[in-house]
A = this chain, B = another copy of it.
């Protein structure tokens, strides 16, 4: 087997790192990925409407923001024809490589950045080496630049290997907002996938470690509620108001008080609230951004259903209307043991892997679970795997960075695991 030149992958990763983009605005990133797909010469690729189920996208920004990032991608040199195929926030891509008879193996990588600024001092490699984010207030602070690079590296490596079967790589948008997993899962491209790997770097594992199976995803849903009341002068006509902030306060108090569940851990948070305009006006409008989680999808659904009842009743109590939007969602998932075993075995024989861990817990949420679930529902196998990398700052912090030495290690381990899976059909 022959690796892609590590230099090329590092250069690609750095270029993506310079252009972090938010959910459904990964215009530059997608265009750049497609350039690579054409360079590699994959058999098919899908982009925009063809890659995701448009109606299932969650957390799509408003038109102004989409337009702003679209323009920025164009100015950064993205191919205008490709951009046109993504207009309206249809980002992401699916690449297909066909090599003889065999099962279909999928690899899912996510590609979006985070809304946070990046460190700018010499200790921070991207700053020192000149590939710090060029988009103020956005940063690849969770390694999705490396994930996309894994996708390209694996395609090229597997193309040059004796793999027999079909390889699909899913470049998924909007993971940070848990807004893209469902749209990709329901794109149709997952329907024939027999085995799926989803990969993440870091997670407090150093360079040289790999984790063959990650579990413990909390299922999660993000809700956005807008409560509409009636304003009134607080001194002169308090009774004529329909107080959206009273409804909000009642909702918040009761959201946190949703009963704990016998079946396991649940979570709830009213993470961002706002309402009203001035001291002397009965508040006409209020908004709530909340999340619920559960150790299982059922527990998350339990919390979501109760949350909806709380918010609806709180609005009704105060004579307000309310609209509740689902703004992100991901089920829970488990990594299938048979697939985990293959990855674990393969890792024993990959250069640069010093330590292999069979199982670990994530303790957070991820919408790769939508894709995993899709495959598992059709009797396929799925696993979420980790590639260790030394990262100076924690995930989502300003000093997060990927140790680039871990990139070829990850590419090789993933590629060889994919080959072995196709050959052994576990």
Contacts and interface: CB of A to CB of B under 8 A. Distances in A.
A396 to B, nearest CB: 9
Given A267-B260, A270-B283, A235 B220 contact: yes
Interface in A209-254: 218, 220, 222-223, 233-241, 243, 245-246, 248-250, 252-254
Q: Which applies to chain A's interface (DSSP): helix, strand, loop or mixed?
A: mixed
Q: How large is the interface on A (under 10, 10 to 19, 20 to 34, 35 or more residues)?
A: 35 or more
Q: How many copies does the complex hold?
A: 4
A238 B273 contact: no
B269 A279 contact: yes
Interface in A259-304: 259-283, 286, 289-291, 293, 302
Contact of A262 (B238, B245, B279, B309): B238
B222 A279 contact: yes
Given A239-B262, A249-B248, A314-B317, A269 B309 contact: no
Nearest to A283: B271
A374 to B, nearest CB: 23
B260 A257 contact: no
A393 to B, nearest CB: 15
A32 to B, nearest CB: 28
A204 to B, nearest CB: 12
A230 B225 CA distance: 24
A270 B282 CA distance: 8
Contacts of A275: 272-274
Given A249-B249, A302-B239, A272 B277 contact: yes
A238 B250 contact: no
Contacts of A327: 279
Contact of A235 (B257, B316, B364): B364
B316 A269 contact: no
A235 B313 CA distance: 25
A13 to B, nearest CB: 26
B274 A279 contact: no
A363 interface: yes
Given A218-B235, A273-B273, A273-B275, A257 B259 contact: no
Contacts of A270: 245-246, 249, 276, 283
B278 A272 contact: yes
A214 to B, nearest CB: 15
Contact of A274 (B235, B257, B271, B273): B273
A290 B249 CA distance: 14
B257 A279 contact: no
A59 to B, nearest CB: 10
B260 A239 contact: yes
A314 B315 CA distance: 11
A68 B69 CA distance: 31
Contact of A241 (B223, B252, B259, B277): B259
A176 to B, nearest CB: 10
A240 B245 CA distance: 27
Nearest to A364: B235
A254 B260 CA distance: 14
B236 A317 contact: no
Task: Give the one of A222, A238, A261, A291 with max B CB within 10 A.
Answer: A238
A319 interface: yes
Interface string A25-59: 00000000000000000000000000000000000
21 contacts: A235-B364, A236-B262, A236-B364, A238-B261, A239-B259, A239-B263, A249-B253, A249-B270, A250-B250, A257-B257, A271-B282, A271-B283, A272-B276, A272-B278, A273-B274, A274-B274, A278-B289, A279-B290, A313-B313, A313-B316, A316-B316
4 closest Cβ contacts across the A-B interface?
Answer: A256-B257, A313-B317, A234-B269, A249-B252
Given A248-B249, A250-B253, 4 more contacts: A246-B270, A256-B256, A272-B276, A279-B291
